[in-house]
Amino acid sequence: MSLLACIKIDPAICNGKPSVCHYSVEWLLSLLRAGHTHEEILAHYGDLWIDDLLAVEAYPAAAEYQGSITLRELVQQALPCFRETMDFGFPAEFIYETLHASGPLNHHLTMRHGRFFCYVEPRTSPLSPDSRVFGQYMTLSWHSHDGFFRLSNYISRDELTYEVGGPAGICNSYTDCLAVFENGQLLPYRTHYTDLHGVRKVLDKRHEEHVPEDSEWFIELYRDVEIEWLE
C-alpha cells in the first residue's frame, strides 16, 4: 500500500484538512520542521507509526505536483492494457461507476466506506469522465473480489516499482489487472518471477498456472519478482 494511503480527508476530522489518525498533516509537519525526531513524536503520540510520519514528510512534494488528466483520458489509456491482460475489456462507464481512489490526492474520487472500513458503498451515480485525476505516479487496478477499481498514488518511481511487484500488487490473487501511469501517461511493464520449480517466467494472468488459489501462496509461488519498465 502506498505511503500516501494513510493520509485521509474527512470533514469530521481536522476540519477536513489532510490528516493521519486524528492529527493534521500540517501539525505533524510543524513538529518535524521544528526539529523533533521520529522517535520523539512516536513516543509522545502512541497511535502513530513510522510510516505515518514518512507519509507526512512525502505529502507536500506529492501535493505540489500540478499535472493532471481527465478521468476519461486515464481510462482510455488503461482499457487496452486491461483487454490484453484479461482477454476481455470493460466499458468505460463501468469504471466510472466503480472507481475508488485511496489517499488524499484524489479524494474527490473516493467512494464512501461502509460499516467496515475495508468495504466501500456502491456509487449512486457514475463519476464524470471530465473529473480531474491528480498525481505523478498512479496505478489503476481491477479487483473482482471487491467489485471495484482502485486508483492509488505513489510518491516516487521506487515506491511504484515496489508496490506493483509487492504482495499487494499485480501478483496478488485479488488483483486481476493493473495499469501504471507516470506523468499522466500509461507506463507499460512486464513482471518476471521464479516459480516453484525454479523456472524464470513472465507473469500472464490469462493462464491458470500463474494464478494462485489463495493469496497466502504469494511468497511461495512468486519468488524474486522483478518489474521491467518498457519505456
> What's the pLDDT tens digit per position in 154-193?
999 999 999 999 888 998 878 889 999 999 999 999 999 9
Does an H or E element contain 41, and which? helix 38-44
Q: How far apart are CA 103 and CA 154, in angstroms?
A: 9
Could you tell me which residues come within 8 angstroms of residue 12 by beta carbon, excluding any fewer than 6 positions away?
Answer: none
Residue 208 C-alpha cell reads as 491458470
> What's the pLDDT tens digit per position in 15-40?
888 889 889 999 999 999 999 999 99
Cβ atoms within 10 A of the Cβ of 165, count?
A: 21
Is the domain defined by 3-64 classed in CATH 3.30.70.141?
no
Report in angstroms the alpha-carbon separations of 72 from 67, 128, 149: 15, 8, 14
pLDDT, averaged across the chain: 86
Coil, strand or helix at 216: helix
CA dihedral 182, 186, 187, 188 (to 10 degrees): 170
> How many alpha carbons fall within 13 Å on the CB side of residue 211?
13
pLDDT at 104: 86
Q: How far apart are CA 84 and CA 141, in angstroms?
A: 14
- CA-based nearest residue to 76, from 164, 220, 185: 185
pLDDT at 116: 46
* pLDDT of 114 higher than 60: no
> How many alpha carbons fall within 13 Å on the CB side of residue 126?
13
Q: How far apart are CA 25 and CA 41, in angstroms?
A: 13
Residue 51 C-alpha cell reads as 510510516
Cα torsion angle, 177, 131, 127, 3, sign: positive
pLDDT band at 117; cut points 50, 70, 90: very low
φ and ψ at 191, to 5 degrees? -105, 120
Q: How far apart are CA 142 and CA 66, in angstroms?
A: 26
All CATH 1.10.10.10 domain ranges in the chain, comma separated: 3-64
